[in-house]
């Protein structure tokens, strides 16, 4: 690792720091990475806020040990375990599995246990992790073909033991993932073997497979994409066309809304496929599950929703085997379309999946987009082809040189010059002298290896030598050489042709499985459950939806919050209770005038569905000064199950109603000599405040009756004197 990055390098200092510490504490410091040529790509900011802490060299030995070891572990988990590389799209364990399988590949199936054992020569972790990685790759279809019980991605059933199942490389993996002549190898963890640093993969594996990984301080979540669409996008990039939008595609199928998916970052919403079939009007059928959800987990979420009365379902039957098949029987009279929406709203039939592409580039973590990943792979693909072409050109040059030497040696009977020579030195000298007239054709003095090669030509080959055949072979080599040189000059054209060939051969095997829908229709969960629960009040003052014998009060949803207000002014917010002892009588919008009498007041309460922006009107009596107050308020924010006070301590609510009445009619208690016995007030004159604020004075007179509509006790002969609110 480079210890001193240039000023224009976008990488932050934290990763540099812990790599520096790791280098200082190990003997393996050294490999210098080149500066990235794609500085426009975003890089993960791993640098924490700086805190006042002593330098490492100023700390005690235990502090230095802990910090150094932790940073080594962080570096290892990020670079050698959790994150894939942008170059070949593989995690280390996946790369080692594929390399171990390729080394032993003979086209036949091998025991997974044997593959695990071979991989352990390269991978410094346990066999269980390797076996799980093999099963995961096999279930993703592209690289490993399994035989036996590899589990079920739909039901979540686990694979059989490694000794009972077999696997082999697919044709795609065997032909397009390996090229040992252009692969760099390093010693394995124990130094006994050599493993590839990167595989020369000619397909964008990380985007095809989808990869999750969690490391110290960061994580990656790369969603799988469609094979055909990825290659078509790379062809467009090679042809200098705009890169088309590439969207995820899941092997579990379903329907996807990618409106929040921004080129690899953001999130998608995916839904199960729910069908209603002919002659099955009272049933729904789930034929696909969201990615990452098993049928067992889905069934559990449906059962939970049934118990909470969110779904009118009689029972469910899970018939999933090779394909997803969950049969849902509805209760008689249920609306199938409403149930389908409720399944999306309240169960695992709909799921949100986040995506963030974090990979290693030059052994450092960076955050990229899908387009960035494709551009990287396009460049990598051209580099692989260039390396393979250069290797082949070297081989052709050596082969042509050998054939030229053989032709001169045989056609000009130079081998006759050594028939009487008795020493090895003399033989070499005679051959060199024999080639002197033909050095213009050879282009160089003969080496000892070339002389040794000529001396090993069998007599049978010399006697059967065919000059015409030699000329044809040389012409074929020259044509291949010219073609390779042309390909080197037009790498983009060659890579595009190669990808088109892959599309033609493998494209039909990997069609799109997930349907794309331009934005899911919004589901109003409260509307679906607005009458889900019925709140009742029993004779012994229990309030809730589990009260079986009682007076129905109002319907509500389990998603609602309720308010409960008592006549003494205290109130609270709560989810719909199953059973709640109110210790009071339910009287919505009650004139609680019993508190004005000398006897003990009757206690009332009212309840309703909470909405923080609803406006309420409250009139209350405050006995200390004998005044009556009015206020209009909104509930505002709240904390569930916390007691609040709507009026001052000791006061009693006379009227509480939702909204603002047009008028409040008030009848005063009779007093001798009192000229005004009744008044009408306009509540709209009171400004809207918070629920906890004090009201404004309405009247100092003792109230006998009040109402929000003109009551029968209102006497027209006593006048309609308008009351004044004391703001």
Q: Are 234 and 500 in contact (CB under 8 A)?
A: no
Percent of the residues in the chain that have a pLDDT greater than 70, as a whole number: 87
3-class DSSP assignment, residue 32: coil
| pLDDT band, residue 5 (cuts 50/70/90) | very low
pLDDT tens digits, 504-544: 999 999 999 999 998 787 776 767 776 778 899 998 889 99
Q: What is the pLDDT of residue 333?
A: 85
Q: Is the model's pLDDT at 7 over the cut of 70?
A: no
Average pLDDT, the chain: 86
Which one has a higher pLDDT value, 19 or 629?
629
Q: Determine whether 164 is an active site residue.
A: yes
Which one has a higher pLDDT value, 601 or 477?
477
Q: What is the mean pLDDT of residues 39-52?
A: 45
pLDDT tens digits, 261-315: 999 999 999 999 999 988 888 899 999 999 999 999 999 999 998 888 888 899 8
| pLDDT band, residue 163 (cuts 50/70/90) | very high
Q: Are 602 and 596 in contact (CB under 8 A)?
A: no
3-class DSSP assignment, residue 650: coil
Between strands 604-609 and 585-586, the pairing is parallel
Q: DSSP secondary-structure letter at 577? A: P
Q: Which tokens sit at 167?
A: 């696997």
Q: Is the model's pLDDT at 38 over the cut of 50?
A: no
Q: DSSP secondary-structure letter at 155? A: T
Ranges for all domains in the chain classified under CATH 1.10.268.10: 374-509
Q: What is the mean pLDDT of residues 446-461?
A: 89
- Calculate the CA 300 to chain-centre distance: 22
Give CATH for domain 374-509. Answer: 1.10.268.10
Q: Which range among 342-356, 479-493, 547-561 shows the weakest confidence by mean pLDDT? A: 547-561
Fold for 269-352, please state it. Gyrase A; domain 2 (3.30.1360)
Distance, in Å, from the CA atom of 597 to the CA atom of 604, rounded to the nearest integer, reads 15
Q: What is the pLDDT of residue 58?
A: 62
Q: DSSP secondary-structure letter at 163? A: T
Which one has a higher pLDDT value, 69 or 479?
479
pLDDT tens digits, 209-224: 999 988 777 889 999 9
Strand-pairing partners, residue 658, are 616
Distance, in Å, from the CA atom of 705 to the CA atom of 425, rounded to the nearest integer, reads 135
Ranges for all domains in the chain classified under CATH 3.90.199: 13-197
Q: What is the mean pLDDT of residues 665-690?
A: 87
pLDDT tens digits, 84-133: 999 999 999 999 999 999 999 999 999 999 999 999 999 888 899 999 99
Q: Which tokens sit at 145?
A: 């073909």
Going by C-alpha positions, the residue among 227, 531, 157 that lies closest to residue 374 is 227
Q: What is the mean pLDDT of residues 567-573?
A: 90
Q: What is the pLDDT of residue 59?
A: 66
Between strands 644-645 and 627-634, the pairing is unpaired
- Calculate the CA 604 to chain-centre distance: 52
pTM: 0.74
| pLDDT band, residue 596 (cuts 50/70/90) | low
Q: What is the mean pLDDT of residues 140-168?
A: 95
**Of the options 3.30.310, 3.90.199, 2.60.40, 1.10.150, the CATH number for the domain spanning 13-197:** 3.90.199
Ranges for all domains in the chain classified under CATH 3.30.1360.40: 269-352
**Residue 602 CB neighbours (<10 A):** 15
Q: What is the pLDDT of residue 607?
A: 92
Q: What is the mean pLDDT of residues 693-707?
A: 89
* Given the residues 164, 438, 563, 571, the one annotated as active site: 164
Q: Which tokens sit at 105?
A: 């590949």
Q: What is the pLDDT of residue 717?
A: 79
pLDDT tens digits, 188-241: 999 999 999 999 999 999 999 999 988 777 889 999 999 999 999 999 999 999
Report the chain's C-alpha Rg in angstroms. Answer: 41
């Amino acid at each position: 690792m480079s210890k001193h990055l240039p000023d224009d390098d976008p990488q932050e200092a934290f990763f540099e720091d812990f790599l520096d510490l790791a280098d200082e504490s190990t003997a393996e410091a050294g490999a210098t990475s080149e500066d990235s040529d794609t500085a426009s790509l975003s890089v993960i900011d791993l640098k924490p806020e700086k805190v006042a802490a002593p330098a490492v060299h100023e700390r005690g030995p235990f502090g230095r040990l802990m910090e150094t070891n932790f940073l080594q572990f962080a570096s290892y988990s990020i670079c050698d375990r959790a994150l894939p590389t942008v170059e070949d799209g593989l995690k280390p364990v996946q790369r080692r599995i594929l390399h171990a399988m390729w080394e032993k590949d003979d086209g036949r199936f091998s025991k997974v246990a044997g593959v695990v054992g071979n991989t352990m020569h390269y991978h410094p972790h346990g066999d269980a992790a390797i076996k799980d990685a093999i099963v995961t790759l096999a279930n993703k279809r592209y690289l490993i073909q399994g035989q036996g019980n590899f589990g079920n991605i739909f039901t979540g059933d686990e694979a059989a033991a490694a000794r009972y199942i077999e696997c082999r490389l697919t044709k795609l993996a065997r032909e397009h993932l390996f090229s040992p002549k252009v692969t760099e190898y390093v010693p394995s963890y124990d130094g006994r073997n050599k493993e590839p640093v990167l595989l020369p993969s000619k397909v964008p594996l990380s985007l095809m497979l989808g990869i999750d990984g969690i490391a110290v301080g960061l994580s990656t979540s790369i969603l799988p994409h469609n094979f055909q669409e990825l290659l078509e996008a790379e062809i467009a990039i090679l042809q200098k066309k705009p890169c088309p939008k590439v969207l995820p595609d899941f092997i579990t199928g379903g329907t996807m809304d990618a409106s929040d998916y921004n080129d690899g970052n953001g999130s998608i919403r995916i839904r199960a496929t729910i069908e209603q079939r002919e002659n099955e009007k009272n049933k729904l059928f789930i034929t696909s599950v969201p990615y990452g959800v098993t049928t067992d987990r889905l069934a559990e979420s449906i059962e939970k929703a049934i118990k909470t009365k969110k779904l009118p379902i009689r029972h469910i039957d899970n018939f999933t085997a090779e394909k997803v098949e969950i049969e849902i029987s509805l209760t008689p009279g249920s609306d199938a379309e409403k149930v389908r929406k409720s399944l999306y709203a309240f169960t695992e039939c709909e799921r949100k999946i986040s995506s963030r592409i974090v990979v290693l580039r030059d052994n450092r973590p960076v955050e990229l987009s899908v387009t960035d990943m494709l551009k990287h792979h396009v460049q990598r693909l051209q580099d692989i082809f260039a390396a393979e072409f250069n290797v082949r050109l070297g081989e052709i040059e050596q082969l042509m040189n050998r054939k030229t030497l053989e032709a001169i040696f045989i056609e000009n009977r130079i081998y006759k010059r050594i028939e009487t020579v008795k020493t090895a030195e003399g033989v070499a000298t005679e051959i060199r002298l024999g080639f002197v007239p033909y050095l213009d054709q050879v282009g160089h003095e003969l080496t000892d290896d070339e002389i040794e090669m000529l001396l090993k030509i069998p007599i049978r080959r010399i006697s059967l030598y065919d000059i015409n055949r030699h000329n044809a072979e040389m012409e074929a080599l020259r044509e291949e050489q010219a073609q390779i040189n042309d390909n080197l000059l037009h790498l983009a054209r060659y890579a595009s042709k190669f990808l088109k060939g892959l599309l033609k051969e493998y494209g039909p095997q990997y069609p799109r499985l997930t349907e794309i829908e331009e934005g899911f229709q919004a589901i109003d969960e409260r509307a679906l459950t607005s009458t889900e629960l019925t709140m009742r009040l029993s004779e012994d003052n229990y309030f809730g939806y589990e009260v079986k014998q009682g007076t129905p009060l109002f319907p509500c949803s389990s998603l609602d919050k309720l308010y409960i207000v008592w006549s003494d002014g205290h109130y609270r917010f709560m989810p719909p209770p199953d059973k709640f002892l109110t210790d009071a009588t339910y009287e919505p919008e009650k004139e609680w005038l019993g508190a004005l009498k000398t006897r003990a007041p009757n206690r009332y309460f009212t309840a309703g569905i909470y909405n923080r922006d609803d406006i309420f009107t409250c009139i209350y009596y405050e006995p200390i000064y004998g005044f009556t107050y009015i206020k209009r308020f909104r509930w505002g924010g709240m904390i569930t199950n916390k007691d609040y006070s709507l009026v001052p301590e000791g006061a009693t609510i006379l009227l509480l109603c939702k909204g603002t009445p047009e008028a409040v009619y008030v009848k005063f208690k009779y007093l001798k000599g009192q000229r005004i016995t009744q008044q009408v007030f306009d509540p709209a004159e009171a400004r809207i405040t918070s629920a906890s604020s004090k009201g404004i004075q309405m009247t100092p007179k003792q109230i006998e009756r009040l109402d929000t509509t003109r009551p029968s006790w209102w006497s027209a002969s006593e006048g309609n004197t308008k009351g004044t609110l004391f703001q």
